[in-house]
Amino acid sequence: MAALWLDYRQDKPAHWAGPLLLMLALAVLATTVVHYMELNDETVAWEDRLARAEHDLGRDLGRERGKAHRSVGRDGESLEVQRANEVLRQLSLPWDSLFLTMESAAGEEVALLALEPDAEKQVVKVSGEARDFTSLLNYVTRLEAQEAFGPVYLQSHQVQLQDPQQPVRFALHAVWKGAP
């Protein structure tokens, strides 16, 4: 095996390159740290501004809410009482009977996609799909025969040609007698 010879003498011409590179790296590190601290301070300042703005906005919203609570609506009731009464009216509607009536009239030939009852206008908007146009007309007839509904108006219908079974998508309005 050959002997390994290492030369540790300092008289090499590039002996200053290592310390120079180290100094350069330290200078870049110091510049980066200073820049990071400046950005951090700027971030803290912006966060403080945001917090103050949110606080001021919250205070302004609180004033507006206070005005809304104190404001008086029709018949001398406050708006808050009117809103509570509206929620109570919505909750006291006969939802179960409405849904059962709609579903029982649908049968197997009609699939209901959406029900939008409007108790104030006493109308129920219905959208769904029927197997064919005859099934749709039978569904409208069955709905009109229910005690809970008055006249039923077919708003729109469209045969879904991209579907192999070609169902009929529809939208209708039904006058709801069960709404107070």
Domain that holds residue 65: 19-92
Residue 67: CB partners within 8 Å, gap ≥ 6? none
Residue 134 C-beta-side C-alpha neighbours within 13 Å: 0
- Position 121 in a domain: yes
Q: Check whether residue 128 and residue 166 sit in a common domain.
A: yes
| Count of structural domains, the chain | 2
- Residue written as tokens 């200053």? 16
For residue 25, the tally of other CB atoms under 10 A from its CB is 10
* Total H helices, total E strands in the chain: 4, 4
Q: Check whether residue 69 and residue 100 sit in a common domain.
A: no
Residue 29: CB partners within 8 Å, gap ≥ 6? none
Task: Report yes or no: 110 and 93 within 8 Å, Cβ to Cβ.
Answer: no
Domain C-terminal end among 46, 61, 92 = 92
- Position 143 in a domain: yes
Q: How many residues comprise the chain? A: 180
Model confidence at 66: pLDDT above 60: no
Q: Check whether residue 54 and residue 44 sit in a common domain.
A: yes
- Position 12 in a domain: no
- Position 81 in a domain: yes
pTM of the model: 0.51
Domain C-terminal end among 70, 92, 114 = 92
Q: Check whether residue 64 and residue 49 sit in a common domain.
A: yes
- Structure tokens belonging to residue 57: 């906005």
Task: Report yes or no: 166 and 159 within 8 Å, Cβ to Cβ.
Answer: yes
Least confident of 36-50, 61-75, 133-147: 61-75
For residue 47, CA distances in Å to 44, 107, 128 come to: 5, 60, 50
- Position 46 in a domain: yes
Please list the residues that pair with 153 across neighbouring strands. 173
Q: Model confidence over 88-130: pLDDT tens digits?
A: 777 776 777 777 888 888 878 898 888 888 877 888 899 999 9
- Structure tokens belonging to residue 22: 């180290």
142: domain CATH number is 3.30.1360.100
